[in-house]
Amino acid sequence: MTIEAWRITGQSQIDSYVGRWAELGVLLVNELHVTRARGRPVTPPENRRAALEEALRSHDWTPGRPLTDADADRLAGVAAELHPAFAGDITALNQALVRHGAVPSLYGDPPRLAFHSAEASLPDAWAADAATALAMVIGVGQGERLRSCEADGCELVFFDVTKNTSRRFCGLSCQNRAKASAYRARRRA
């Protein structure tokens, strides 16, 4: 993990491996775990596998093999395990690391780095790699980059990559709702 560019630009640099797996953790939590998003209740998808495949496709993720319904169900559990990390709960994150066997490993030709064994199931592999990435972000003092949306009625999480960690909302819709609400409150006062 590289986080060292402070003296040059003031922007922290999180390498692509860690950033990519942290983004997968965000995707899993947002697709499979939140109950409120952008001010509205979210109903769990009837077909978790199809919903997850669509979300992965839209974020350019390609699983090494087709997802099964059982994989999608287990990944929903993984999402629940990873969610507390975005509120700073390192105990839950440590438990997820142990539960999914997160250990550095090289395999393949050419060798590639992973934080799961070559024999790990897809949900365990993704859980170990995503949990390790979140732990690395927290472990190098950048835990404030793992955030939950501050808008009322939104539980979405995000990985803040802004220069000064100033991002407060998951997206423009929540930011606009919060600004409009603050404006109406000022007008009433």
**Within 10 Å of residue 42's Cβ, how many Cβ atoms?**
16
Write out residues in the chain with pLDDT < 70, as ranges. 1-15
Q: Is-contact 160 20, C-beta < 8 A?
A: no
| The pLDDT of residue 14 | 63
| The pLDDT of residue 44 | 86
| The pLDDT of residue 8 | 43
Q: Which has the closest alpha carbon to 133: 88, 170, 97, 106? A: 97
User: For 40, which DSSP code?
Assistant: E
Tokens representing 54 are 């669509």
| The pLDDT of residue 64 | 79
| The pLDDT of residue 13 | 54
For residues 123 and 108, what is the distance between their CA atoms, to the nearest angstrom?
A: 19
| The pLDDT of residue 2 | 45
For residues 137 and 150, what is the distance between their CA atoms, to the nearest angstrom?
A: 20
Tokens representing 91 are 């105990």
- The whole-model pTM stands at 0.88
In a 10 Å sphere around its CB, with 0-12 CB exposed, 13-18 middle and 19+ buried, how is residue 163 labelled? exposed
Going by their DSSP bridges, the two strands 36-37 and 40-41 should be labelled as: antiparallel
